[in-house]
Amino acid sequence: MTQPTIRGTVAPAPAAGTLPLLVLGPSLGTTTALWDGVAARLSASWRVLCFDLPGHGVSPATREPFTVAEVADAVIALVDSVGGGAFHYAGVSFSGAVGLELALRHPERLQSLAVICSAARIGTVAGWVERAARIRGSGTPSIIAGSAERWFAPGFLDRDPAAGSAALDQLLDVDDESYALCCEALAEFDVTDAAAGIRVPTLCVAGEFDRSTPPAQLAALARRIPGARLETIDGAAHLAPLERPAEAAALLEAHLGRQAARSRTAAETYSEGMAVRRAVLGDAHVDAATAAITPETADFQDFITRYAWGEIWSRPGLDRRTRSFLTLACLVSGGHENELGMHVRAALTNGLTRREISEAILHTAIYAGVPAANSALTVVRDTFTTIDAQRSN
DSSP string, 273-324: HHHHHHHHH-HHHHHHHHHT--TTTHHHHHHIIIIIIIIITT-TTS-HHHHH
The CATH number assigned to the domain holding 15 equals: 3.40.50.1820
Residues 91, 26, single domain; the answer is yes
Residues 233, 327, single domain; the answer is no
Q: For residues 48 and 22, give the distance between their C-alpha atoms in angstroms, rounded to a whole number.
A: 5
Residues 237, 319, single domain; the answer is no
What's the pLDDT tens digit per position in 280-337?
A: 999 888 888 888 888 788 888 888 888 899 889 988 778 899 999 999 999 999 999 8
pTM of the model: 0.68
What's the pLDDT tens digit per position in 141-169?
A: 999 999 999 999 999 999 999 999 999 99
The CATH number assigned to the domain holding 388 equals: 1.20.1290.10
Residues 345, 209, single domain; the answer is no
What's the pLDDT tens digit per position in 324-377?
A: 999 999 999 999 988 999 999 999 999 999 999 999 999 998 998 999 889 989
Model confidence at 17, pLDDT cuts 50, 70, 90, reads low
Residue 106 has pLDDT above 90, yes or no: yes
Number of domains in the chain: 2
Q: For residues 52 and 275, give the distance between their C-alpha atoms in angstroms, rounded to a whole number.
A: 38
Q: Does residue 1 belong to any structural domain of this protein?
A: no
Residues 254, 315, single domain; the answer is no
Q: Does residue 2 belong to any structural domain of this protein?
A: no
Boundary of a domain, candidates 231, 263, 295: 263
What φ, ψ does residue 122 adopt, rounded to 5°?
Answer: -110, 125
Which range marks the domain in which residue 90 is found?
8-263
Percent of the chain with pLDDT over 90: 74
Residues 250, 133, single domain; the answer is yes
